[in-house]
Structure 1
């Protein structure tokens, strides 16, 4: 079955929408400033238990699962992260040619499967026939590219949470495919939606405003509150460079009532820098290692201060 044209995502290599995106950003920021929109939904929605102070432990998000233990964005890696000290599992969502949300980071399947070409050129049946594990190790031969639904079915029985990054620009109809799956699996209270694309997060606000959105930006310039307001976001996800070149940024974000997460930190030196500045969450390829480091360096104990294992998620 082929998908209607309006179900094919507008990916970044399609430049036709750049002017529309720029206009939407300017309009949204202007409205937010003129109308004094309250962008702080952190506490009201219960996503962050509290904004961190410098030196307090940040929550852990396993980047594409636990990629030290299994091939990224496979059910094996995601399952490992769900059973690690990570509070969140972060993964990437794209659409197949027939409109099925699947988990894949790259725009093409070349790096992590035995196939070639863009994700959106494959139907799900074609994509599911690819080997997504042998590149990592012989024990993962035959691992497949999971659907979002398969992951949400795992998450449903876990006590953990998920950050779903929607890759590229999504329409209201496309976002509804994701939010409907989240509702069907009863994990609304355990999912945050992230995107680099403001128009995608605006679509989330129209379709499922109850789902918290996070804007991913490599650098934060200007007023973080206005930036978050443009996307209806409760938090910003940014790079280590953004906070090390501007150490006051974390406090400015917190003063606006927003959360701030940092990606992708994989060693004790960068973990210590992020914690010292009071970031709320750290995205890492090494969730188990970071959990142990927090237990030893922050909590002052060799015991992990996080619940691990499986439980029913609401």
Structure 2
């Protein structure tokens, strides 16, 4: 528990951004396993579909930045994607890390850590939301005993997912201040549990508007210790960070 304006509220949640992206190559098993070791509350990860319709965990629409390959994720089969090296770009000691499937991550996470899943570039992938729902069900991650949140910048994507699996909490990622207006938040509150804005959009007024509508707020992405205490004082519910240990030391 923590204090906010003299009122006890739930402990701030620590959300490990793409795993421990400050310490290990993002969206790899090395990064996720370290987040579990650091006792983060949630892993944040990004999903897309391979050419052969398998859910894979990678942020960019291409493999260029985080692997030794080149080209669009959607143009590679799962076997081809997993033949790429996803670790050496970060540090040679991570050579051999691969692009994981969502199933591989869920198998490791279940019962140990929550999962915050972003549907990435959903306009590129017809059926992405149904595929995600099927995968969560196959690992029993849709049950109330598990901690799963599905989020996106694309509100249509999370609406589609919500229609398929309404028991899973929905988050909306925000980088446009207009979405934090009173009327828009009222509209979002009909189906959204989390409003997750970029750091520069976080104000006490915005948090109050979000909380007054029964939603929570996880700002992104914390990469400096200096911003943690101000966020905690404002009353955020969680912090999405590349360095989960920064928050645990506060």
Instruction: Report the TM-score, using the length of structure 1 for normalisation.
Output: 0.72
Q: Secondary structure at the match of 2:217?
A: strand
Using a 3 Å threshold, how does the CA distance of structure 1 residues 144 and 134 change in structure 2: closer, same or farther? same
| Cα-to-partner distance string for 1:94-149 (whole Å, 9 max, x where unaligned) | 11111111010111111110001111111111111101111122221111100000
Q: Secondary structure at the match of 1:254?
A: helix
Q: Secondary structure at the match of 1:77?
A: helix
2:166 counterpart of 1:212: no
What is the correspondence of 1:104-143 to structure 2 with a 5 Å cutoff? 104-143=58-97
Q: Report the Cα distance in structure 2 between the residues aligned to 1:105 and 1:200, rounded to whole angstroms.
A: 16
Q: Which residue of 2 aligns with 1:234?
A: 193
Q: Report the Cα distance in structure 1 between the residues aligned to 2:202 and 2:117, rounded to whole angstroms.
A: 23
What is the correspondence of 1:290-309 to structure 2 with a 5 Å cutoff? 290-293=247-250
How far is 1:195 from its partner?
0.3
How far is 1:287 from its partner?
0.2
Q: Report the Cα distance in structure 2 between the residues aligned to 1:252 and 1:99, rounded to whole angstroms.
A: 39
Q: Which residue of 2 aligns with 1:150?
A: 104
Q: Which residue of 2 aligns with 1:168?
A: 121
Using a 3 Å threshold, how does the CA distance of structure 1 residues 271 and 162 change in structure 2: closer, same or farther? same
Using a 3 Å threshold, how does the CA distance of structure 1 residues 282 and 52 change in structure 2: closer, same or farther? farther
Using a 3 Å threshold, how does the CA distance of structure 1 residues 124 and 205 change in structure 2: closer, same or farther? same
Q: Which residue of 2 aligns with 1:53?
A: 4
Q: Secondary structure at the match of 1:154?
A: helix
Q: Which residue of 2 aligns with 1:19?
A: none
Instruction: Report the TM-score, using the length of structure 2 for normalisation.
Output: 0.89
CA contact (8 A) 2:122 2:128 kept: no
Q: Report the Cα distance in structure 1 between the residues aligned to 2:3 and 2:156, rounded to whole angstroms.
A: 29
Using a 3 Å threshold, how does the CA distance of structure 1 residues 217 and 227 change in structure 2: closer, same or farther? farther
CA contact (8 A) 1:152 1:185 kept: yes
Structure with bigger gyration radius: 1
How far is 1:185 from its partner?
1.1
| Cα-to-partner distance string for 1:144-203 (whole Å, 9 max, x where unaligned) | 100000000001242x10100001236783212111111111222321001000110110
CA contact (8 A) 1:89 1:161 kept: yes
Structure showing greater relative contact order (alpha-carbon pairs closer than 8 Å, 6 or more residues apart): 1
Q: Which residue of 1 aligns with 2:26?
A: 72
CA contact (8 A) 2:16 2:35 kept: yes
2:228 counterpart of 1:271: yes
Q: Which residue of 2 aligns with 1:308?
A: none
Q: Could you list the runs of 5+ residues in structure 1 that have no partner in the other structure?
A: 1-49, 294-314
Which one of 217, 220, 235 corresponds to residue 260 of structure 1?
217
Q: Report the Cα distance in structure 2 between the residues aligned to 1:87 and 1:69, rounded to whole angstroms.
A: 17
How many matched pairs? 240
